[in-house]
Structure 1
């Protein structure tokens, strides 16, 4: 097994005349839970789309499981849960799960198990159009899990969930990682940073840090990870100002 599941090198993305990502480089080890954190508008979704292979890039490279992102070899090996639920509103939760289970070649029992895993068993026969945003997101997650992907990309999967359910979902992420799945999870909520084995901190399309939570605390001298992120931003600002002065 390779020691890298996701390999991003000097990745730059431009939309129109605006550069969205600036020469991003990092690697994600297999069987891990990596958090991609940053404020809204920092480029998280664009980066995830590039990893899945649905984002046009200007320069650089993205390799997943040894293949260029988006190639046919990865279609059944990479799962992607978007911010917008990707399930059918005119079907029930159970019907959606069983439909996707049939596509993936698994049975009804697997669909029902996935529904239980995301905490929706009690309302499995409710129409998706009648669900809250957080519940719809969980249906999308359940359907993505049915494929048993080697790499699972999740774009803010815990938005709108109550604290207890968020805890349970993160516990499930770590169970998947222990079983060999590589997870890259985006969030703008800094209190989720401690649930990750490694952190990618993104701001204004630039990668500020690629550290474990413990190393980030050590590097910044801040025990609170949100404060650590703020200190990184200030350090970057001071460095940029110094470069202008020396230029």
Structure 2
């Protein structure tokens, strides 16, 4: 695991070659050259609201319950320049989930490839299971998620800072590390990209990218920082 840690710590060194920040203090520009390419609102909604328990504004994502095979979505999608194998990607954001909302079966961030020519836009996802952060790799053909059962649980009605660091690769050179409030809660090594003819990722989705619960879910997001080093 030390090698995973050292490879990902390289994210802190060297110049950035892409990425963006979003604090939601200005009106969102969606499409037509804006920061966000689109908003996914399938039985869900994203909107700017006064941030709870802090000054300024935040993004409020509300997603309805799962209906049959259709999951609700309430997220923003950023299209970035293609990130090939070897790219180091960091996605940091503040998250707050109210006590009345589930902290289970909620997907928060997707890193996908829309140009790979594969159905379903292959990629990996950061999600919550029983309040703990996990990484799902099913969409790149790997059944078992990366998990750590002794990791801290996200507290309700509290702002948390989450950082997801990735080294993108379709094989063993790939790696992932997750920090919760500055503390490492998950680290793993292995494929983080689909092994397709056009290997890479080109979009980041953040919000409630899927709610698989039988009840509605909501969450606030703030201070998003995406850093890309190729």
**Interval containing the TM-score (normalised by the shorter chain):** 0.3 to 0.5
Structure number with greater CO (CA < 8 Å, separation at least 6) is 2
Q: Which has the larger radius of gyration?
A: 1
Per the normalisation by structure 1, the TM-score is 0.31
Per the normalisation by structure 2, the TM-score is 0.32
Q: Which has the higher helix share?
A: 1
Q: Which has the higher strand share?
A: 2
